[in-house]
Structure 1
Amino acid sequence: MKPARIFDLVVTVLTAAIATWIITRVAYGRFPPISVFAGASLYPVAAIEVALAFVIRQRVQDDRIGAGPRRLHPITAARAVALAKASIQVGALVSGIWLGFLLWVFPRSGSLDAAAADAPSAVVGLIAGVCLLAAALWLEYCCRAPDDPTDEAATT
């Protein structure tokens, strides 16, 4: 499995932002009011992933990998990588969606009351998406396998 590529994430964010901006432009009048809590639901997920990343990073650095108490089982590390990969995609997609929505709502917040009410929700959602993306990238980074030791010590 390869680490996430920044170019792919940028493409995902931009594609979602453009699609959301177009949809919002066409159908904003039919949208219900957006609650500030709509985007805030990703904050706890991001916090859990950051905490998990620090635990995994510490166990990898201390060479506590394998079966046993207070050790990192390889299957657990693989599951954490799968969680990170999924969260990276969700974070990029959600960031793009909130960005596209914010790009349509923010310029109209001075003249349209509904847009002014939805702008804070879009900001909270955008920040939550970016936090999830950053936390997932950090988790993915912390799950990397340690470098293989060299054979030089055994031959000398």
Structure 2
Amino acid sequence: MTQAQPPRGSEPDRFRMGPTRISTLVVAALAAAAVAWLLISTFYYDVAPDLPWLPVVTLGALAVLEAYAAANTRSRIERRPGRYPVNPLLVARFVVLAKASSLAGAIFTGCYAGLTGWLFIEDTNAAMNDRPAAGAGLLAALALTVAALWLERACRVPAQEDDEDREPGERQGPQPRR
């Protein structure tokens, strides 16, 4: 006799958000690198103007802002002296921002990696002129990914001292009356 399965969607952890998986970011970066390599090798000489620096500056600025938010949020969660307690809703928003930014950063890292790789095997003047912007874009996108992962990790609630004494199946708070 087989056991009846619970109805689909009734599992309590089904919609729970977990930490970002590095494997997801690697797959996204590799897929973006392949697409970028394919597109750049097909259309570079037909339609590509000089690479702009604005995306590089934008990615770098986002990386700096998220790194600052990570350091500030971590110290506020740990309630270090001189810091105000953090608003839980702000932390939730930071987690969503961090998850989105880490995926976007991985995709941009892949795009800039494919572009940079292709530009370094080309020996034309146009490719040589685009190399600095492509390399800087790769570094800025990688910095954004790392800063976003740091922000996500900074938003974790630290383990409480009494959590270590508790058994794994034991509930927190008052026990229900029977």
Q: TM-score, normalised by structure 1?
A: 0.87
The residue aligned with 2:67 is 50
The residue aligned with 2:149 is 137
Moved beyond 2 Å, runs of 4+: 35-38, 148-153
Aligned-pair identity (%): 36
- Report how many residues are paired: 147
Aligned-residue CA RMSD (Å): 1.9
Distance across 1 between alignment mates of 2:85 and 2:162: 24
Matched, 1:20 2:36: yes
Kept after mapping to 2: 8 A contact 1:38/1:121: no
- Structure 2 stretches lacking a partner, 5+ long: 1-16, 167-178
Distance across 1 between alignment mates of 2:118 and 2:155: 38
- Structure 1 stretches lacking a partner, 5+ long: none
The residue aligned with 1:107 is 121
1:80-119 paired onto structure 2 within 5 Å? 80-108=94-122, 111-119=123-131
Kept after mapping to 1: 8 A contact 2:79/2:85: no
| Greater relative contact order (Cα < 8 A, sep 6+) | 1
Distance across 2 between alignment mates of 1:135 and 1:40: 15
Distance across 1 between alignment mates of 2:41 and 2:57: 24
Kept after mapping to 2: 8 A contact 1:92/1:130: yes
**Which structure is higher in helix share?**
1
The residue aligned with 2:3 is none
Matched, 1:11 2:27: yes
| Deviation of the 1:35 alpha carbon | 2.5
| Deviation of the 1:63 alpha carbon | 7.3
Q: TM-score, normalised by structure 2?
A: 0.77
